[in-house]
Amino acid sequence: MNEKKDTLILAIESSCDETAASVVKNGREILSNIISSQIALHTLYGGVVPEIASRKHIEKINQVIEEALKQAQVTLEDIDAVGVTYGPGLVGALLVGVAEAKAIAYAAKKPLVGVHHIEGHIAANYIEHPDLEPPFLCLVVSGGHTHLVHVEDYGKFKIIGRTRDDAAGEAFDKVARAIGLGYPGGPKIDKVSREGNPEAIVFPRAHIEEAPYDFSFSGVKSAVLNYINGCKMKGEEYSQADIAASFQKAVTDVLVGNAMHAVEEYGDRKFAIAGGVASNSALRAAMAEACKEKGVEFYYPSPIYCTDNAAMIGVAAYYEFMNGTRHGWDLNAVPNLKLGERV
């Protein structure tokens, strides 16, 4: 009887400000996960500067890939396919990864598999949860996206809710800047909130009547800015920690509320979260409690797999590869690629 051959994917991620490469075995085992972060560089500017991000990717991408292969103790000969994020993201940053992946796949005579960045985030949950298989519900919360997704099968998604304006992570960044915490806003608000009272200030929770699973965070962001301006005009002191904790509670309440409403409607007994904001401790705790009350299994990735990384791209690429997805040398970066869309 022949043993089943292992499938190795070399994955590349460069959609924003992390240059990352990973080698993934059989879609679930991470042999290496190398990330070169640019956070310190962009902190100087209060956010990601696309041109600087692209230039840094060009500097780092070869080193990161070499290190990923070395740590996994494999060569390009051993790799079965090259997976790469081709959207959504910053177009210049994406192009660096896509061009690199095409060059490697062409030179090594390996298949090329393009991956949707958000599908990668969802796939991050497969890494540490071998029992997790579709169908399940997933809340994707990041700097650029807030989606409530029904994962029907590997590579098959139905968006049931999305933000109408700001993504949750974007609102975190803007509020963090307003209260003087700076960039990156998510981790800083999470940390400061522990010293504040989440009930100190009642910020609005937006609910959209005709679309119960949709989100809106521009209102709560504006409410924070108005509160700060009001305090300044009256000459009153305000607590940075209380604002952070109250804002975080308002966002978390909406995310958890919409998610649990979807759980009731769809009847799924498995619920996952993904994306950078999924590493927020308040969101994790609130979601875990809500899922426990409903008797639903709750899944979430480790923080290292919540932020942008290539391991999650490798997992998503594996399932795409097994489903027969192959991209040609004309694969291009698609900065506004929609979830579930294929090129």
User: What is the SS3 string spanning the chain?
Assistant: CCCCCCCEEEEEECCCCEEEEEEEECCCEEEEEEEEECHHHHHCCCCCCHHHHHHHHHHHHHHHHHHHHHHHCCCCCCCCEEEEEEECCCHHHHHHHHHHHHHHHHHHCCCEEEEEHHHHHHHHHHHHCCCCCCCEEEEEECCCCEEEEEEEECCEEEEEEEECCCCHHHHHHHHHHHCCCCCCHHHHHHHHHCCCCCCCCCCCCCCCCCCCCCECCHHHHHHHHHHHHHHHHHCCCCCHHHHHHHHHHHHHHHHHHHHHHHHHHHCCCEEEEECHHHHCHHHHHHHHHHHHHHCCEEECCCHHHHCCCHHHHHHHHHHHHHCCCCECCCCCCCCCCCCCCCC
For 134-301, CATH gives 3.30.420.40
Q: Which tens digits make up the pLDDT trace of 85-136?
A: 999 999 999 999 999 999 999 999 999 999 999 999 999 999 999 999 999 9
Number of Cβ within 10 Å of residue 328's Cβ equals 9
Fold (CATH) for 8-122+306-322: Nucleotidyltransferase; domain 5 (3.30.420)
83 known ligand binder: no
How far apart are alpha carbons 3 and 35 in whole angstroms? Answer: 33
Q: What is the mean pLDDT of the chain?
A: 94
Q: Which tens digits make up the pLDDT trace of 174-195?
A: 999 999 998 888 999 999 999 9
| Residues 149 and 160: beta-carbon distance below 8 Å | yes
165 known ligand binder: no
Residues forming CATH 3.30.420.40 domain(s) in the chain = 8-122+306-322, 134-301
Q: Which tens digits make up the pLDDT trace of 37-78?
A: 998 888 888 888 999 999 999 999 999 999 999 999 999 999
Instruction: Assess whether pLDDT exceeds 80 at residue 343.
Output: no
280 known ligand binder: yes
169 known ligand binder: no
Which residues are CB-contacts of 105 (< 8 A; sequence separation ≥ 6)?
Answer: 81, 82, 111, 112
14 known ligand binder: no
173 known ligand binder: yes
117 known ligand binder: yes
Q: Which tens digits make up the pLDDT trace of 249-263?
A: 999 999 999 999 999
Work out the pLDDT band at 1, boundaries 50, 70, 90. Answer: very low
222 known ligand binder: no
129 known ligand binder: no
37 known ligand binder: no
How far apart are alpha carbons 310 and 268 in whole angstroms? Answer: 28
| CA-to-CA separations, 336 to 5, 88, 94, 339, in angstroms, rounded | 36, 5, 11, 10
6 known ligand binder: no
